[in-house]
Amino acid sequence: MVIKFLVASLISLLSVKFAETQTRDERLFNVFSIVKFPNEGCNTTDNTYGVCYSPTECLSLGGSSRGSCASGFGVCCSFTGSCGGSTSLNNTYFTSSDGSSSPCSFSVCRSSSDICQIRLGFDTFDISQPSTVTLADTNPNTRGQCQSAQFNAASDGPAPPTICGKNSGFHMYLEAKETCNTLTFTWTASESQTWNIHIMQIECDEPWKPQSGCLQYFTGTTGTINSYNFDESHHLANQQYRNCIRTELGYCSISFTEIESDGFQISSIAPSTTVLTGDLCTTDYVIIPGGGATPGQPTSSDRYCGNHMEVYTSDPQPSSGAGTTVFTNKMPFQLGFVTDDTEVDTTPAAELTKGFSIFYSQTAC
């Protein structure tokens, strides 16, 4: 009887010791081996975007560690792709190199089934300029067309326009395709073609994503919207897209003003001072839905073109020489842009095709 009691006591004591050891080991294992954190966006040490992963995950995904995240438990992992590559990871960069050759394509596949949009941020975008010839040089006129180099992006919505020239600092939104969105550069020019495009994938339930159909999307109560390639003074042909502005909380109307004396030159024959609006803007023009001299007082048409952006009740009218502010309270706030595939030249003048640089400012309710 005494022996049985001693054996039972020994078994009980060993069981307690095993449980204590197991609990201690689990605590150690949990602290040092099972540190979990969300794979969220992060800023790298070279001021670009990455994704927070463990060092092992970053290496296995083909990324490079550039800084820490998750209180030091993770690394900010940077991803870069080039011609012929593809990605299904957020915050990837599509970058040119000295060895890039035309055509150069890159595939962007959804990281998950709940990705609805893709934002392309043109950190660097400097490819050949559009044609600048006039009818005196060629017939038909190709001015504004991207003939020497082109960038095209596939979207599940309306096809984005072909763009070229210098567009660093611009961006472009795409509707995510169930297959993959293809980004393609093609060129015949001998000069260098340079780009570095940040690719952000946006989930369908993100409250800050733009509505479908917006090629560019702006936030904040004030900002500036430029036509593509504005800094090089040549707008692009065959453009048809919408710039959307988020309506900020407590704001009910918005104003648009050309930002400088020559910040609006669309579809007008120089050196004429005629401002065209409404139905006279038939080829190249800006669209401001519900635009007028005051919010809630729209004119008969929402099209604006000519040497300046101005509001008039009848067409045509002489330009004031400085432009006027256009107001609207029609939501969502938008500024559209349309150009055709050719320009009109007369002797000796040629149609102005610089494009626009427009400052917007929202007004509180």
- The pLDDT tens digits for 86-114 are 999 999 999 999 989 999 999 999 999 99
Phi, psi of 251 (to 5 degrees): -115, 140
The DSSP secondary structure of 137-187, one letter per residue, reads: T-SS--TT---SEEEEE--SSSPPPPB-SB-TT-EEEEEPPSSEEEEEEEE
Same domain for 123 and 72:
no
Confidence of residue 262 (pLDDT cuts 50, 70, 90): confident
Reply yes or no on whether the pLDDT at 278 is more than 90.
no
Tokens at 163, concatenated: 């763009």
Choosing from 187, 209, 231, the residue where a domain stops is 209
Give long-range contacts, CB 8 A cutoff, 24+ apart: 110-114.
110/176, 110/177, 110/178, 110/180, 110/201, 111/201, 112/203, 114/203, 114/204, 114/205
Same domain for 55 and 91:
no
Same domain for 128 and 58:
no
Confidence of residue 39 (pLDDT cuts 50, 70, 90): confident
Structural domain count of the chain? 3
Reply yes or no on whether the pLDDT at 315 is more than 80.
no
Residue 314 has what pLDDT?
A: 59
Nearest to residue 108, comparing CAs of 86, 93, 90?
Answer: 86
Same domain for 202 and 117:
yes
Same domain for 56 and 94:
no
Residue 212 has what pLDDT?
A: 92
Residue 279 has what pLDDT?
A: 73
Q: Which structural domain, as residue segments, surrounds residue 99?
A: 82-209
Reply yes or no on whether the pLDDT at 194 is more than 80.
yes
Please check whether residue 253 is in contact with residue 328, taking contact to mean a CB–CB distance below 8 angstroms. yes
Same domain for 351 and 226:
yes
Phi, psi of 307 (to 5 degrees): -80, -20
Looking at the domain assignment, is residue 197 inside a domain?
yes
Looking at the domain assignment, is residue 123 inside a domain?
yes
Output the pTM of the full model. Answer: 0.85
Residue 58 has what pLDDT?
A: 93
Looking at the domain assignment, is residue 30 inside a domain?
no
Question: Are β-strands 355-364 and 264-265 bridged in parallel, bridged antiparallel, or unpaired?
Answer: antiparallel
Choosing from 80, 95, 128, the residue where a domain stops is 80
Same domain for 349 and 218:
yes
Reply yes or no on whether the pLDDT at 8 is more than 50.
no
Tokens at 300, concatenated: 């008969």
Same domain for 189 and 88:
yes
Choosing from 28, 53, 80, the residue where a domain stops is 80
pLDDT in tens, 325-357: 999 999 999 999 999 998 877 766 778 889 999
Q: What percent of the chain has pLDDT over 70?
A: 82
CATH code, 335? 2.60.120.290
Same domain for 180 and 96:
yes
State how far the Cα of 353 lies from the Cα of 141, in Å rounded to an integer: 13
Looking at the domain assignment, is residue 34 inside a domain?
no
Looking at the domain assignment, is residue 45 inside a domain?
yes
Same domain for 359 and 222:
yes
Average pLDDT, the chain: 86
Same domain for 87 and 73:
no
Tokens at 245, concatenated: 């502005």
Confidence of residue 321 (pLDDT cuts 50, 70, 90): low
Looking at the domain assignment, is residue 28 inside a domain?
no
Same domain for 124 and 162:
yes
Please check whether residue 74 is in contact with residue 153, taking contact to mean a CB–CB distance below 8 angstroms. no
Looking at the domain assignment, is residue 178 inside a domain?
yes
Question: Are β-strands 274-277 and 317-318 bridged in parallel, bridged antiparallel, or unpaired?
Answer: antiparallel
Peptide bond into 161 cis (omega under 30): no
Residue 32 has what pLDDT?
A: 40
Residue 152 identity: N
Confidence of residue 323 (pLDDT cuts 50, 70, 90): confident
Integer angstrom CA distances of residue 22 from 9, 13, 15, 18, 149: 20, 14, 10, 6, 66
Looking at the domain assignment, is residue 344 inside a domain?
yes
More confident: 185 or 38: 185
